[in-house]
Amino acid sequence: MYGLTVLLAIPLGKYIANVFKPESANGPLERFIYRVGGIDPTREMSWKKNLTALLTINAVWLAFSFTLLLLQGGLPLNPDGNPSMTPDLAFNTAISFMVNCDLQHYSGESGLTYLTQLGGITFLMFVSAATGIASLLLIVRSFLPKVVDTVGNFYVFFVKAITRILLPLSFVVALILVFNGTPASFDGKDSVVTMQGDTVNVSRGPAAGMIAIKHIGTNGGGWFGVNSAHPLENPNYFTNMVEMVAQVLLPIAMLFALGFLINRRRFTWVVYGVMTLGMLCLLIPTLVTEVHGNPAIAQLGVSQPTGAMEGKEVRFGPLASAYWSIVTTIISTGSVNSMHDSSMALSGTMELLGMMTNAFYGGCGVGFLNYYYYLIIAVFISGLMVGRTPELFGRKVEAREIKIASIVALLSTFLVKGGTALAVWFFVKYPDAAWAVKPSAWLNNPGNHGFSEILYEFTSANANNGSGFEGLGDNNFFWNYATGIVLILGRFIPIIGPVAIAGLLAQKKYVPESSGTLPIDTGTFGLMTFAVILIITALSFFPALALGPLAEYFSLK
């Protein structure tokens, strides 16, 4: 599956690069959108104006979706009669989908209507993915030799990302899903008589299109509550393969597109190698531990010929589920075809590390932005180690840039561990607080695993992932607002920081590379960057992991 994904990503990356080249013409649909929106596609903007445009339009989408969710119970396209959301849940949901995280504190088929699923959630899936792609393109100028004050036009990048990339790819995936049994009608629940004679009401709806963009755009929110473990959302092994390829395709293709755009393909392959090495370091232990089964069950003398099957769909098995669990957490998709809360302890550790690092492929466009601040830190450290002025493609990396990169890296740690500490404090200090729906009832699992559930929720929110250890009761005042704040900061600070760094570097004098220049497109520098990523992640998060999934893992040995 992974090899097929890479083979598809290379030509797709070349196509994406052609779409975003300055000389690429606008089509009739794009010209119509520019005219309606009052956008001048020939106008170049500075990095500050582009960030202002990005943040402003996202604020409009947030207000729109929040209002829609509050009123959905009385609006059309609600055949099942689902109620409106409470203000705290609407706040969390609107932010979650606006920032491409898709953390769901509700069950899709009962928490939303067809109108909000399509007009709110699916709409946000497209625009949030396009925002990430446009954000990556805002840093391209900093890699080119020419000194510039402008970094392009966010609106042009945004519109083309939707019309030329997201819509066509989603259409193809949606067609595949429809022909394999995923519903695409506006009918309400259907009554089905099971083989046992029970009558069951099965939710339906126009799900195929939403499921397509949820993976193509690395969104992850499910039409149904159990996401891609649901037989209508992911009917068979073939659709499982399609959805696995779909969620990894664009993040890798965007990386190759960057190499074509800046004409530094060797650098791109080094970055790709670092990211792939990181993925394998997480994937291999997960595959091994899931295939070998649960040691606690083995001690009871129970055979596990198919591996650890708790929380897995029989039609997929542990191997496909383990692969999905890692790519969905490193890519920031967050969709699931098995229950992560039932993963083996070591697998849970790898899933958490993938989100904590958040730089191995990552989401659409923003994956490289997260890698970018690690790259800046690696360039700075390497330059000082060898006694050379730190430079990135002919531009000096100075105190201002390294300060921004360091703040972004530290903020991630603060949001995850700070939020976890706050939740644990509430759980211990105010176990019966009515306004938080009794924190003592938050956790279905005590001890180390309960701590892991809390840690996972904040890690997922900060990494714009959206998956969860669903033993946690999270639809209440505390979790909706606490994770909502983390969602906003975890999304936009890692965009603002790298774009600001790139904008500052683009304005600096370009110095041609010489024998005294530290090359950053070599395997040696790639390993240096990988070491920086590991060290920063380990120093930041190892104590928290030791209290949760690692402690649980060693208790089973």
Contact 526, 274 (CB under 8 A): yes
Higher pLDDT residue, 515 or 262? 262
Taking residue 101's Cβ as centre, other Cβ atoms within 10 Å add up to 31
SS3 373: helix
User: The tokens of 119 are what?
Assistant: 């007009």
Would you state the structure tokens that stand for residue 536, as one six-digit string?
């920063």
**C-beta of residue 69 within 8 angstroms of C-beta of residue 96:** no
Average pLDDT rounded to a whole number, residues 457-479: 89
What is the rounded distance in angstroms from the CA atom of residue 222 to the CA atom of residue 105? 11
CB contact at 8 A, 338 and 347:
no
Query: What's the pLDDT band for 515 if we cut at 50, 70, 90?
Result: low
């990356």: which residue's tokens?
13
Distance from C-alpha of 31 to C-alpha of 33, rounded to nearest angstrom: 5
With a cut of 80, say whether residue 161 has pLDDT above it.
yes
- SS3 for 413? helix
Cβ contact 320:243 at 8 Å = no
Q: What pLDDT is recorded for position 197?
A: 75
Cα-Cα-Cα-Cα dihedral sign, residues 359, 362, 368, 372:
negative
> What confidence category does residue 362 fall into, taking pLDDT thresholds of 50, 70 and 90?
confident
Residue type, position 368, single letter = F
* pLDDT above 90 as % of the chain: 50
Give me the mean pLDDT over the 35-42 stretch: 88
What distance in Å separates the CA atoms of residue 96 and residue 467, rounded to the nearest whole number?
Answer: 12
* Beta partners for residue 192, in sequence order: 200
Q: Could you tell me if 213 and 144 are in contact, meaning their C-beta atoms sit under 8 angstroms apart?
A: no
Q: Which of 56-60, 207-211, 285-289, 291-295 is least confident? A: 291-295
pLDDT, one tens digit per residue, over 295-315 is 888 888 887 888 888 889 888
Highest mean pLDDT among 169-173, 202-206, 526-530: 169-173
DSSP 512: -
Domain-wise residue ranges, the chain = 2-263
Confidence of residue 480 (pLDDT cuts 50, 70, 90): very high
Residues 6+ apart with CB under 8 A from 104: 93, 96, 111, 221, 222, 225, 466
The owner of tokens 């390497």 is 382
Cβ atoms 229, 339 nearer than 8 A: yes
Residues 394/395/398/402 CA torsion (nearest 10 deg)? -90
How high is the pLDDT of residue 385?
79
| Arithmetic mean of pLDDT, 116-120 | 92
More confident residue, 145 or 206: 206
C-alpha distances out from residue 14 to 20, 215, 254, 273, Å: 10, 21, 9, 18
Does the pLDDT at position 328 exceed 90? yes
230-245 average pLDDT score:
92
Handedness of CA 513, 517, 523, 527 (dihedral sign): negative
One DSSP character per residue, 441-495 reads GSBSS-HHHHHHHHHHHHHHHHTT-----TTB---SHHHHHHHHHHHHHHHHHHH
For residues 313 and 353, what is the distance between their CA atoms, to the nearest angstrom?
Answer: 24
Beta bridge partners, 312, equal 338
Q: Averaged over 21-26, what is the pLDDT?
A: 80
Are 352 and 456 spatial neighbours (Cβ–Cβ below 8 Å)? yes
SS3 content of the chain, % helix, strand, coil (to 5): 65, 5, 30
Asked if the model's pLDDT at residue 468 lies above 90, the reply is no
Identify the pLDDT of residue 149. 77
**Distance of CA 46 to CAs 153, 157, 328, 408, Å?**
8, 14, 34, 21
Predicted confidence at residue 250, as pLDDT, reads: 94
DSSP character for 138? T
Among the residue ranges 243-252, 474-483, 504-513, the one predicted with the least confidence is 504-513
State the average pLDDT for the chain.
Answer: 89
Mention every residue, 6+ apart, whose C-beta is less than 8 A from residue 399: none
Q: Please give the residue that has the higher pLDDT: either 500 or 298.
A: 500
What's the whole-model pTM score? 0.93
- How many angstroms from the chain centroid is the CA of residue 303? 36
Measured distance CA(125)–CA(217) in Å, rounded: 7
Question: By three-state DSSP, how is residue 395 classified?
Answer: strand
CB neighbour burial string for 305-328, b if at least 16 within 10 angstroms, e if fewer = eebbbebbbeebbbebbbbbbbbb
**Pairing mode of beta strands 391-392, 395-396:** antiparallel
- Residue 89: pLDDT band by 50, 70, 90 thresholds? very high
Rg (CA), the chain: 23
**In this predicted model, what pLDDT tens digit does every residue of 63-84 receive, in sequence order?**
999 999 999 998 999 988 889 9
